[in-house]
Amino acid sequence: MAHPTAAVALDRLLQTGGAAVRLLARSGPAARGELARTLATLNADRFLVVAESDPPPEPTAPNALPLRTPAATTLRSVERLAEQALAAGITRRTVVLGVGGPRTSDTAGLLAALVFNGLRLVQVPTTLAAACGPALSLRHTVGSGVLGVWQAPELVFCPLDAITAAGVPAAGAIDAVRSVLAVCPAGYAALDALLRPEGGYRQREAAALIALCADARAAVTGYDPLERGPGRALGYGRTLGRAIGLLTGGALRAGEADGLGMLVAARAAAHLGLLPLADERAHRELLRRAGMPVALPPGVDPADLPGALRLAAGRDGERGLVLLEGLGRPYCADGSLLTEVDERTLRAAADAVRPGGIPRSRRAGVPARCES
């Protein structure tokens, strides 16, 4: 058995369409040196270091230009960063380095995609939420989610000591839960054993969660890098989560709202006769193990969910939800993973997820796919 202080190492090469993304996760004192050596192989003339703190929490590279992550990621705030970079004399050999949480990952991705029509991108996520989601993604959006770009990172380097230093909140594991429920149910038992309701994951546990999310992403984006086919499963529960977030006025963390979104989606799928009740219960059990709320906050009116969902879905420019007909089996009709769910079903699903709610199922005609 490994000594509890032994260094942790994770290596992956993720093929996403034509992009090959190298993923490294490291712990221990040698991690900093390995990051510096890896960055040196990129032969960059400068590094634009986008970070939430100054100086950034991880060492970067020689010839670094620090840029502070804006409080809100907008086109104007990204443009201001680009203007600072241009004034400093960047070239096409410059590399953008994002060091921080999800907002920093998105900001760095936007900057890399837009400057000179594309600079190389390296992500150094310092939170589990970033390492399991935005840092691995090719999609980077402004805060509203309406505008976005696609840019693959050359490298994702996860400094496990930094990721676990401040204690990982329970909500940080939400992408691992989503991955198992919607993409790779074979990992259910392993994830169930790994999850902690209180969070606080150690380096080896964080690496296992990152590996699970990376492998799930690679499984569905290898031939769908823009996430318009099988890759839509990676967004399971997210649109409903945004809708629930609107109804709670931001009182929930993003991971908590997404977890409730998955519960509502599972209840809707069961209500329509798609998802077996045992698989719906598996949602609740895994989310409870992860320390996520499994009931809507008091005061959320199920009658308001359809309207909030229309607002949330409008940010994607598409109607419909990803529903499951089994763990790891998104419902597909006519080649689409988006299903339009009627308001009555949505209200019934939300009502069942309220405190003390009682699920009621019916066998009904399953709605056809949405026209995007």
Tokens matching residue 279? 């698989």
Q: In whole angstroms, what is the distance from residue 239 CA to residue 248 CA?
A: 14
Is residue 209 in some structural domain? no
Q: In whole angstroms, what is the distance from residue 164 CA to residue 167 CA?
A: 5
Note whether 241 and 171 are within 8 A (CB): no
Is residue 109 in some structural domain? yes
Indicate if 154 and 244 belong to the same structural domain.
no
Q: In whole angstroms, what is the distance from residue 297 CA to residue 320 CA?
A: 24
Tokens matching residue 350? 């939300």
Nearest to 119 by CA among 78, 159, 147, 160: 78
Indicate if 155 and 247 belong to the same structural domain.
no
pTM above 0.85, yes or no: yes
Is residue 22 in some structural domain? yes
State the CATH number of the domain containing residue 63: 3.40.50.1970
Note whether 147 and 141 are within 8 A (CB): yes
Indicate if 100 and 243 belong to the same structural domain.
no
Is residue 224 in some structural domain? no
Indicate if 23 and 143 belong to the same structural domain.
yes
Residue 158: enclosing H or E segment and its boundaries? strand 155-159
Is residue 228 in some structural domain? no
* Strand partners of residue 66: 49
- Please report, in angstroms and rounded to a whole number, the separation of the first and last CA atoms in the chain: 52
Indicate if 148 and 258 belong to the same structural domain.
no
Residue position matching structure tokens 């060492």: 59
Give the list of residues 6+ apart from residue 91 with CB closer than 8 angstroms, or none.
45, 46
Q: In whole angstroms, what is the distance from residue 335 CA to residue 144 CA?
A: 28
State the CATH number of the domain containing residue 285: 1.20.1090.10
Indicate if 13 and 162 belong to the same structural domain.
yes
**C-alpha separations of 239 from 66, 117, 211, 304, 355 in Å:** 34, 30, 24, 15, 21
- Structural domain including 309 reads 235-352
DSSP-based three-state secondary structure for 272: coil
Is residue 93 in some structural domain? yes
Tokens matching residue 71? 């409080």
Q: In whole angstroms, what is the distance from residue 162 CA to residue 318 CA?
A: 37
Indicate if 69 and 158 belong to the same structural domain.
yes
Indicate if 132 and 275 belong to the same structural domain.
no
Indicate if 162 and 271 belong to the same structural domain.
no
Is residue 200 in some structural domain? no
Phi, psi of 47 (to 5 degrees): -120, 125
Indicate if 241 and 122 belong to the same structural domain.
no
Is residue 368 in some structural domain? no
Q: Mind listing the pLDDT tens digit of every residue in the chain (372 residues)?
A: 444 568 999 999 999 999 999 999 999 999 999 999 999 999 999 999 999 876 565 555 678 899 999 988 889 999 999 999 999 999 999 999 999 999 999 999 999 999 999 999 999 999 999 999 999 999 998 876 778 899 999 999 999 999 999 788 888 899 999 999 999 999 999 999 999 999 899 999 999 999 999 999 999 999 999 999 999 999 999 999 999 999 999 889 879 999 999 999 999 999 999 999 999 999 999 999 999 999 999 989 999 999 999 998 877 777 899 999 999 999 998 889 999 999 999 999 999 999 876 665 554 455 555 544
Indicate if 161 and 275 belong to the same structural domain.
no
Q: In whole angstroms, what is the distance from residue 217 CA to residue 231 CA?
A: 8
Q: Which domain-ending residue is among 133, 151, 166?
A: 166
Q: In whole angstroms, what is the distance from residue 325 CA to residue 322 CA?
A: 10
Q: In whole angstroms, what is the distance from residue 301 CA to residue 346 CA?
A: 12
Question: Residue 65's Cα: distance from chain center in Å?
Answer: 27
Tell me: cis bond preceding 55? Omega within 30 of 0 counts.
Answer: yes
Indicate if 240 and 153 belong to the same structural domain.
no
- Number of domains present in the structure of the chain: 2
Q: Give the helix ranges, DSSP H, for the chain.
A: 30-40, 75-87, 102-114, 128-132, 160-165, 174-182, 188-194, 203-221, 238-247, 254-271, 277-289, 305-314, 343-352
